[in-house]
């Protein structure tokens, strides 16, 4: 397999990405706890190749969904999946599913003006792809403007950033891999350079692929939500993904 070692989300690493993000536990949580309880259009920010949004389209016939991502390689892969499956193709042709290329910290540049959403999803720690405070603040302002009055913004991220773990074996392109996550934490404990180590179990070859540096600032998030007229409606720490990593799921709504 061809690897880009600097960035897990490089288009060359699509097979790795597909191998790593296959679980559906978070989608069931989203379906049962959120999407089934709200009417209106659902927007997923940083939808990647559609693991979440496409499954929601399958589960909720009649509802409208928008997936937004800034990486055309991932969106193209998403479009290929849509074209290969009748239910998804129909939804796409009926305008029930829209895929938008754009930056989640600049939603006004890629979403129709004044369009609001009843559910906005940003899951799988994708919030942390926004590396600067300016980008993160712009994202929260965008959410505030785009969320219906009684809508819910669901922000989900991993709690165990600092833990290094072995993942169960996974298969990509018919080759079994063992995945190990490695973290290097800065002295102040705030920055973590995260990487994944992939061992090809047929050849024993080991490759390390980096992920963006992660910055974890829960207090900044709480302050910034308040400053932008948003508030936490519910904090759920119960969910674990398939690798056993604990997740924090914040349900966020308008403050007033």
Please, which residue, 63 or 247, has the CB nearer to ligand SAM?
A: 247
Helix (H/G/I), strand (E/B), else coil: 95: coil
Among 14, 48, 136, 198, indicate the residue that binds ligand SAM (CB under 6 A).
Answer: 48
Q: At what angle do helices 51-59 and 72-83 cross, to 10 degrees?
A: 30
Among 63, 96, 129, 181, indicate the residue that binds ligand SAM (CB under 6 A).
Answer: 129
Letters for 84-123 (x = contact with ligand SAM by CB under 6 A, - = none) are -------------------xxx-----------------x
Closest approach of ligand SAM to the CB of residue 209, in Å: 13
Residue 229 · residue 206 · CB < 8 Å: no
Residue 81 · residue 88 · CB < 8 Å: yes
Please, which residue, 245 or 255, has the CB nearer to ligand SAM?
A: 245
Q: Does 21 bind ligand SAM (CB under 6 A)?
A: yes
Among 34, 47, 97, 138, indicate the residue that binds ligand SAM (CB under 6 A).
Answer: 47
* Cα(19)–Cα(109) distance, integer angstroms: 32
Closest approach of ligand SAM to the CB of residue 75, in Å: 8
Q: Quick one: which segment of 44-52, 87-95, 146-154, 220-228 binds ligand SAM (CB under 6 A)?
A: 44-52
Q: Quick one: which segment of 40-48, 143-151, 163-171, 245-253 binds ligand SAM (CB under 6 A)?
A: 40-48
Q: What residue number has its CB nearest to ligand SAM? A: 48
Closest approach of ligand SAM to the CB of residue 50, in Å: 8
* Cα(97)–Cα(90) distance, integer angstroms: 9
* Cα(228)–Cα(230) distance, integer angstroms: 6
Please, which residue, 201 or 220, has the CB nearer to ligand SAM?
A: 220
What is each CA distance from 89 to 94, 97, 234, 247, in whole angstroms?
A: 9, 9, 35, 32
Containing 180, the helix (H) or strand (E) segment is strand 175-185
Residue 176 · residue 202 · CB < 8 Å: yes
């Amino acid at each position: 397999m061809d690897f880009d070692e600097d960035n897990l989300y490089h288009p060359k690493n699509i097979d790795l990405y597909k191998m790593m993000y296959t679980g559906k536990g978070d989608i069931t949580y989203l379906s049962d706890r959120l999407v089934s309880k709200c009417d209106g259009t659902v927007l997923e920010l940083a939808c990647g190749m559609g693991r979440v949004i496409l499954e929601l389209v399958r589960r909720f016939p009649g509802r409208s969904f928008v997936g937004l991502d800034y990486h055309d390689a991932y969106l193209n892969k998403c479009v290929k999946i849509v074209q290969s499956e009748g239910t998804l193709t129909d939804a796409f042709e009926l305008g029930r599913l829209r895929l938008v290329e754009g930056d989640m910290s600049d939603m006004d540049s890629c979403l129709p003006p004044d369009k609001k959403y009843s559910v906005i999803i940003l899951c799988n720690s994708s919030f942390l792809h926004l590396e600067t405070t300016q980008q993160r603040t712009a994202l929260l302002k965008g959410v505030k403007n785009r969320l219906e009055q009684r809508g819910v913004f669901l922000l989900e991220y991993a709690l165990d950033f600092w833990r290094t773990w072995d993942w169960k074996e996974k298969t990509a392109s018919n080759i079994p891999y063992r995945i190990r996550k490695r973290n290097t934490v800065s002295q102040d404990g705030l920055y973590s350079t995260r990487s994944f180590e992939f061992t090809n179990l047929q050849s024993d070859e080991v490759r390390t692929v980096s992920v963006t540096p992660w910055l974890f600032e829960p207090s900044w998030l709480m302050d910034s939500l308040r400053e932008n007229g948003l508030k936490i409606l519910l904090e759920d720490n119960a969910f674990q993904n398939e690798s056993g990593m604990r997740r924090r799921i914040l349900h966020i709504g308008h403050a007033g």
